[in-house]
Structure 1
Amino acid sequence: DVKVSVIVTTHNLARYLGDCLDSVASQDFEDWECIIIDDASEDDPHSVVKEHWNSKFHFQRSPENLKLPGARNFGFQQAKGRYIIFLDADDMLAEHALMLLSEALDADPNIHIAAGHLDTVSEDGSNRTRNSWPFTEYSWYGQMAHLNQISYSSMMRREVMERTGGYRDRHWRAEDAPLWIAATSFGFRAKKITEASTLIYRNRNDSKSKGEPGDGDWTSWFPWRMGFATHTRDAFQLAQSERHPRADLVPWGAQGLPQDLRFWYVPDYTEPLVSVVIPVGEGHEKYVIDALDSLVAQTFQNWEAIVVNATGKLWADGFDSPVAGAPWAKVVNAATKLKPAGARNLGAEYASGNAILWLDADDLLLPHALEEMVSLYLGTGGLIYTSQLHSDGDLSTPLALWEVPEFKCGAVLQQMWHSMMCLVPREAHIKSGGFDISLPGWEDWDYLIALQAGGLCSYKTDQPTFVYRMHTGSLREQSFSIREELHPIIIEKWIDYHEGKKHMPCSKCPGGRKAALQQKGNPAPQMSNGSPDEMILLEYQGTRMGKVLIRGPVTNTYYTFQKGQQKFVMRSDADILLSRTKKGISDFAIVAHEPKPQAAPAFTRPPVLEKAVDPIFPSMPVASVEDMTVSVLEGSIGEADDRTIIEWLRQEREGKQRKGALKILEAEMNGRA
């Protein structure tokens, strides 16, 4: 039982480590331990630790080069302290740091992260100077505007790391800033408790931060941010905005107080519209937190997450769990090891949403994904699929666009049309019988054929909505390696369609259209775009003085008015509010004014390569046109893809040269041109 754990991480910084350890050992505070993590250094930090040895030092080597976020998390897993403070090996604790920060946490249980000021020194440790940053007090709005408010070496209660899941491996730049966002957005409180310096930061020309191209857009995974600013002056302007641009997305536990509301929205997700099912196989445990974080990053929030542990092994609890930092995720443990198809079927059994989104553990949704897909789903009732961005694994490099084709009824018989990251009506999934786990491979392709055979229409979104990590799994390659075995199995299962005895019942699918989104909440956050059809400008002229909180009778949205104030109100609420009168005078009057559009969701798209890449999906070998009669060709041509038509035309011109067949093929080619 120790009060403070100081976690020192070092990677090739042994030349500075002695100063760092001396600054810890010389503190005027006794109740501490120091965990020193050697993150695959090529120098010799262990000899430095022995030279500066203290019985409270604990030296540990990481199993591999974890990089700074991973090394800090690894250090936390070894720590026993009630309070945690991180310290890089080239920096030092200032005098009295542990005493000042721990006493503040002891004194006020409402403070979860205690920060002090910062001094800098030159690379050789000389020229100690008081820095102009951090600011006087922690501003949640500033943090959400890309203005980091406190140093990485602030002291936090242990539960901050446990509940947030700690650092994310993907945050390879400014790793502390998004941690402070997550913590202070989900119920924890940060405070600068002293103007005394508690950290001495060493300015090095070869430091990690100096070698990085800026600090990155570390607010991009939080859709309730104030916006993205490329310059500090712009960030200050965002932080001082009169109102939050997306108050409907701010977590109700956020440290910042709403400017024009009594409280942040408190959503009610007891009846989610979308159930996101994420199967996690062996080796993918380290990726699933990114997939879950990409759900939190959505601009549409009425979803539930069902994580299927398909490894056949129980996961650890607490911080060691793959879903640490996502306590809202529903974890389903498979009794035995499952392939993705079986894991998806199992997850669907626990789904309560109207629709199911299949999301692989190693893939990431872009922030607008659910808003795009759900809008199209509500307007069509069909399967919603999407193009994707293709990553070779390094999310810091530009991504390739995999553009998938528009839906064509029956074409799925010849080729899998899109990835399994798609939105499917839950009833359609149940009707299809789910994924066929008896197949030795390509269960995804078979599943999409079954959905179309059941009459489900498909619709493609306008934009790519997710990032596909190409080289993190092996099942895809395994299926391709046995394609000669799989082709006849798939054909035999759907032989009536291949022979033209049956036709896909999706030839009369209505056109795709989007519907307006409305999230359920208490009060309900709205996804309105501010169009005249949805909102109307009202002026409050009632008798009540001061701020008046009025609940929308239809949408359950709360509106705050003062006498004479004008605000946009959802039209369905406005119709009833206008009918309310006292002594024959209405509380509200319509203002003849065109509504101003609500701020668009602020997110930054990842860099994308200019040239798109053709996606690689399983497909049937091209059949020989010479084996077909002209009538069979005519019945099959509508369900063939462009690749097949080109091949058939080549075969016919070089082979039988039947006039009827050539006429059909050339007409089809001209029609598709």
Structure 2
Amino acid sequence: MFFSIIIPLYNRPQEILELLETLVIQTYTQFEVIIIEDGSKLDAREIADQFKNRLDLHYYFKENGGQGFARNYGFERAKGDYFIIFDSDCLIPEDYLEIVCNYLYEHPLDAFGGPDAAHKSFTPLQKAISYAMTSPFTTGGIRGNKKHLGQFHPRSFNMGVSRKVYETVGGFKLTRLGEDIEYSIRIHNAGFKIGLIPNAKVYHKRRTSLSQFYKQLHFFGRARINIYKHFPSELKPVHFFPAIFTVGFAILILLNLFGCKLAYLGNAILGFYFSLLFLHSFYINKSFKIAILSIAAAFIQLTAYGLGFIQDFVKRVVFKK
């Protein structure tokens, strides 16, 4: 089984250096690496050249078109039986490809995804953000765990598709705003089998500041409405939770400002929720600092996603712009 690892890249040479270092030490070696530099001003050509004798590596530079279309560019040039997509800010465990290969032989899948986790080298903030994006007490809990709601949709930071899927369904139709979910839905609708490989995890750095994290999650909220515009049935009640939380928090602020007694109940519920996040994060990370930061990260995750969701719901669904 031969894999083509496809990595779109935009102005992140340091990230690709760290990612390639983790691919060099893979225990399963039947793979190639395709880097698509998507119109970067700060390119990684010199870094890619450093790995030409260590990996079966192919580096391409194209005009900027967005990550979805950059992946398509890689698909067109890939030789593998499976195409595996990573984000450039991921680190890959040395046994990742071995795990995927063994799983696919025992449980054949046409497309697959895996979970993400925090690496021991991550900063406390990166670990807190990772917690927020994977915790069962936030919406992150449905994105890559063994138990999930509804159909499993692989995410593009850790996603694989067979050559047959690509030849039948094609590549990404969207370049951003939920392009991976839209692609997964089309794969499902074409009758292919998609599944989670529970142990095929990657270490996903995500964002290095809370402000960057806010922008990313606001974008994710908008992306959910973009998916709805293409597939209305894919908007589920769970997707409204961040928006409900955001509106509820705004109401709670007003109740406190006006001294309403109902605010006491709201404060108690919010305090209980934040305590639950703190205790769970502390149990997982064994760090008081990370547990405190996890509360902030989870709050930003919910409100940023909620505001992005509300913004585009009003604009594109209510006013149909």
| Fold-level similarity (TM above 0.5) | yes
Cα drift, residue 234 of structure 1: 9.2
Q: Aligned pairs, how many?
A: 233
Deviation at 1:81, TM superposition (A): 0.2
Give the aligned partner of residue 219 of structure 1. Answer: 228
5+ long unaligned stretches in structure 1? 236-395, 400-602, 609-673
**Alpha carbons 2:5, 2:85 under 8 Å: kept:** yes
Paired position in structure 1 for 2:111: 113
| Equivalent position of 2:64 in the other structure | 65
Task: Name the structure 1 match of 2:188.
Answer: 184
Distance 2:218 2:118 in 1: 18
**1:212 is paired with a residue of what secondary structure?**
helix
Shift, 1:121, TM fit: 4.9
Q: Look up the match of 2:304.
A: none
Kept in 2: contact 1:119–1:197 (CA 8 A):
no
Task: Please report how far the alpha carbon of residue 213 of structure 1 lies from its aligned counterpart in structure 2 after TM superposition.
Answer: 6.2
2:118/2:204 contact within 8 Å kept: yes
Q: Is the 8 A contact 1:27 1:98 kept in 2?
A: yes
Shift of the 119–162 alpha-carbon distance from structure 1 to 2, 3 Å rule, reads same
Deviation at 1:8, TM superposition (A): 1.1
> What SS does the aligned partner of 2:27 have?
coil
CA separation in 2, counterparts of 1:226 and 1:213? Answer: 14
Paired residues of 1:4 and 1:31 also in contact (CA < 8 A):
yes
- Residues 182-204 of structure 1, C-alpha deviations (whole Å, 9 max, x = no match): 1122211122232x352111121
- Aligned amino acid, residue 159 of structure 1: K
The aligned counterpart of 2:94 is: 95
Q: Which of the pair has the greater relative contact order for Cα pairs under 8 Å at 6+ separation?
A: 2
- In structure 2, runs of 5+ residues without a counterpart are 136-140, 245-311
The within-5 A match list for 1:119-198 is 119-121=117-119, 125-126=122-123, 131-132=134-135, 133=141, 134-137=144-147, 139=149, 141-142=150-151, 152-169=157-174, 171-194=175-198, 196-198=199-201
Pair 1:32-2:31 in alignment = yes
The percent identity for this pair of structures is 21
Distance 1:179 1:192 in 2: 16
Which stretch shows the higher mean deviation, 223-232 or 45-54? 223-232
Name the larger-Rg structure. 1
C-alpha RMSD of the superposition: 3.2
Alignment of 1:362-511 (within 5 A): none
**CA deviation after TM superposition for structure 1 residue 228, in Å:** 6.4
2:95 aligned partner, one-letter code: H
Is 1:8 matched with 2:17? no
- 1:251 match: none
Q: Which amino acid aligns with 1:180?
A: S
Which whole-Å deviations, capped at 9, do the CAs of 1:510-563 have from their partners, x for residues lacking one?
Answer: xxxxxxxxxxxxxxxxxxxxxxxxxxxxxxxxxxxxxxxxxxxxxxxxxxxxxx
Q: Match for 2:167: what amino acid? A: E
Q: Which amino acid aligns with 1:119?
A: A
1:201 maps to 204
- Checking the alignment, whether the CA contact within 8 Å between 1:20 and 1:92 is kept in structure 2 is yes
- TM-score (structure 2 length as normaliser): 0.63
- Separation in 2 of the partners of 1:213 and 1:177? 11
d(CA) in 1 for partners of 2:56, 2:319: 44
Deviation at 1:47, TM superposition (A): 1.1
Measured after TM superposition, the shift of residue 95 of structure 1 is 2.9
CA 1:188 to 1:44, structure 2 compared with 1: closer, same or farther past 3 Å?
A: same
Q: CA deviation at 1:223?
A: 4.2
Letter in 1 for 2:32: E
Contact 1:138 1:191 in 2 (8 A): no
1:216 aligns to what SS in structure 2? Answer: helix
Q: Aligned partners of 1:158 and 1:200: how far apart in 2?
A: 25
Deviation at 1:24, TM superposition (A): 1.5
1:83 aligns with 2:82: yes
Please state which structure has a larger fraction of its residues in strand.
Answer: 1
* Structure with more helix by fraction: 2
How high is the TM-score relative to the length of structure 1?
0.32
Q: CA 1:74–1:149 in 2, change beyond 3 Å: closer, same or farther?
A: closer
Q: Determine helix, strand or coil for the equivalent of 1:231.
A: helix
